[in-house]
């Protein structure tokens, strides 16, 4: 294969990553419209449950393909130092944006004392910074480390316990950004915490572990994209289906061994895996299908594919704009429905419940989502064109 063919095939593979990323970015908007609508994050009905469940693919896709993009960037530059600089710089920029622009777009206030959180952009940023520490290693080595972090993640909850008691509380507070820590009960017995917590006044939605493991495996996955088409397809389908089958088998066994619960359908139990932090089954459930779909994404054609791929090329710009647009849309909808914008609902956190009689309902939620996605397409198209026309503006590559 000559260099021109190699470059062309690599471009197609990058486009497949952008296409899949574009799909999940569009799906992500469903969840964020849901937040402002007041609809709960999942529920007893299929409509509410799957409205939330489908968006579970978003964060894993962002983090996994961010690792893949880092690998492809290295293939483009062949300069380890340049890659390390880019990862650290962009990672810290994302952390800064999470604490400033992203937070403001969510709440429209600068009262950090009321509510500050670590969202997916925060974690994505720190994962990029930590990935920079490993890029000098072989991709397969990075991938192995990533898998170990994912599948043995619970051991990280006990890290503070290796420190003297005089330092335990201080270390535990800092470690809360990395992984939910083990806590001591009244009987002085260790028990592992799970879910979201608070550290130094931050509400922890996304810890760094095991997401850094997901990014590292995504980096190693980039090596698979360099294989010839036939072998690449076999590997992607094999890995993807293997992860899905492992998820179904392991998840079903856990359900059968757990306490009987006839009130919850078994499919809801199987698909309702823990996201905060993401369990091993959650990662298998979400990353497996993404990998299996890569060969299909490489072959997908048409104007819709091009439109979605374009959105996938400007992920950070889309993320910033979509939160602002959805927030503004919520104020407009509230004005129409209730005669007031109800900004007070969102000033401290758009993650709290709204009274059931004031929720929009699923039909309106999806109407707002479709309208906002169409608007976002035209905004992102303008930005992508502007970015392509101004390669001299180096700062644009960070958005």
pLDDT tens for residues 237-248?
Answer: 999 999 999 999
Given a contact cutoff of 8 angstroms between Cβ atoms, the answer to whether 377 and 307 are in contact is: yes
- Please report which helix (H) or strand (E) contains residue 160, including its range: none
pLDDT of residue 168: 80
CA distance between the termini of the chain = 33
User: What pLDDT was estimated at residue 195?
Assistant: 59
CA 87 and chain centroid, separation:
17
Dihedral, 83, 89, 90, 92 alpha carbons, nearest 10: 140
108 — alpha (psi -120 to 50), left (phi > 0) or beta? left
Q: What is the pLDDT of residue 4?
A: 40
288, 191 Cβ separation under 8 angstroms = no
Q: Are 64 and 221 in contact (CB under 8 A)?
A: yes
The answer, yes or no, to whether residue 313 has pLDDT greater than 80, is: yes
Share of the chain above pLDDT 70, in %: 93
Check pLDDT > 90 for residue 236. yes
pLDDT score recorded for residue 342: 94
pLDDT number for residue 132: 97
Q: Indicate the burial class of 137 (C-beta count within 10 angstroms; 0-12, 13-18, 19 or more).
A: middle
Mean pLDDT, rounded, of the chain: 89
In the structure encoding, which two tokens stand for residue 238, read together? 């094999």
Question: Quick check: 388 pLDDT over 90?
Answer: no
Distance separating alpha carbons of residues 119 and 102, to the nearest angstrom: 9
* pLDDT one-digit tens code per residue, 162-209: 988 888 888 888 999 999 986 544 433 333 344 566 777 788 899 999
CA distance linking residue 232 with residue 299, whole number of Å: 13
List the structure tokens of 327: 């927030």
Which pLDDT value is given to residue 183? Answer: 56
What proportion of the chain, given as a percentage, has pLDDT over 90? 70
Radius of gyration of the chain (CA): 21
Digit-coded pLDDT (tens) for 97-128: 999 999 999 999 988 887 888 999 999 999 99
């Amino acid at each position: 294969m000559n260099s021109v063919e190699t470059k062309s095939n690599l471009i197609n593979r990058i486009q497949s990553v952008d296409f899949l990323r574009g799909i999940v970015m569009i799906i992500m908007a469903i969840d964020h419209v849901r937040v402002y609508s007041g609809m709960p994050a999942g529920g007893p009905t299929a409509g509410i449950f799957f409205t939330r469940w489908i968006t579970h693919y978003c964060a894993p896709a962002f983090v996994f393909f961010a690792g893949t993009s880092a690998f492809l960037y290295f293939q483009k530059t062949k300069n380890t130092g340049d890659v390390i600089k880019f990862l650290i710089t962009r990672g810290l920029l994302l952390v800064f944006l999470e604490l400033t622009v992203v937070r403001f777009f969510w709440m429209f206030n600068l009262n950090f004392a009321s509510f500050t959180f670590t969202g997916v952009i925060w974690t994505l940023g720190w994962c990029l910074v930590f990935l920079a520490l490993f890029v000098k290693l072989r991709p397969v080595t990075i991938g192995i480390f990533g898998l170990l972090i994912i599948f043995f993640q619970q051991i990280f909850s006990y890290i503070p316990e290796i420190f003297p008691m005089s330092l335990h509380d201080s270390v535990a507070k800092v470690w809360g950004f990395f992984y939910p820590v083990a806590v001591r009960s009244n009987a002085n017995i260790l028990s592992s915490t799970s879910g979201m917590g608070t550290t130094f006044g931050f509400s922890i939605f996304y810890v760094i572990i095991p997401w850094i493991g997901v990014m590292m495996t995504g980096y190693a996955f980039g090596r698979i994209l360099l294989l010839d088409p036939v072998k690449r397809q076999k590997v992607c389908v094999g890995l993807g289906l293997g992860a899905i089958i492992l998820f179904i088998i392991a998840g079903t066994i856990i359900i059968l061994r757990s306490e009987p619960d006839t009130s919850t359908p078994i499919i809801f139990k199987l698909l309702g895996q823990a996201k905060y932090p993401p369990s091993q089954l959650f990662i298998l459930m979400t990353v497996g299908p993404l990998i299996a779909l890569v060969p299909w994404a490489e072959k997908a054609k048409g104007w819709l594919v091009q439109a979605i791929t374009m959105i996938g090329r400007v992920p950070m710009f889309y993320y910033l704009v979509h939160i602002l647009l959805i927030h503004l849309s919520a104020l407009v909808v509230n004005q129409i429905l209730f005669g007031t914008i109800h900004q007070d609902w969102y000033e401290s956190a758009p993650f709290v419940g709204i009274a059931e009689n004031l929720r929009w309902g699923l039909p309106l939620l999806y109407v707002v989502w479709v309208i906002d996605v169409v608007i976002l397409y035209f905004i992102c198209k303008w930005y992508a064109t502007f970015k392509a026309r101004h390669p001299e503006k180096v700062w644009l590559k960070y958005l």
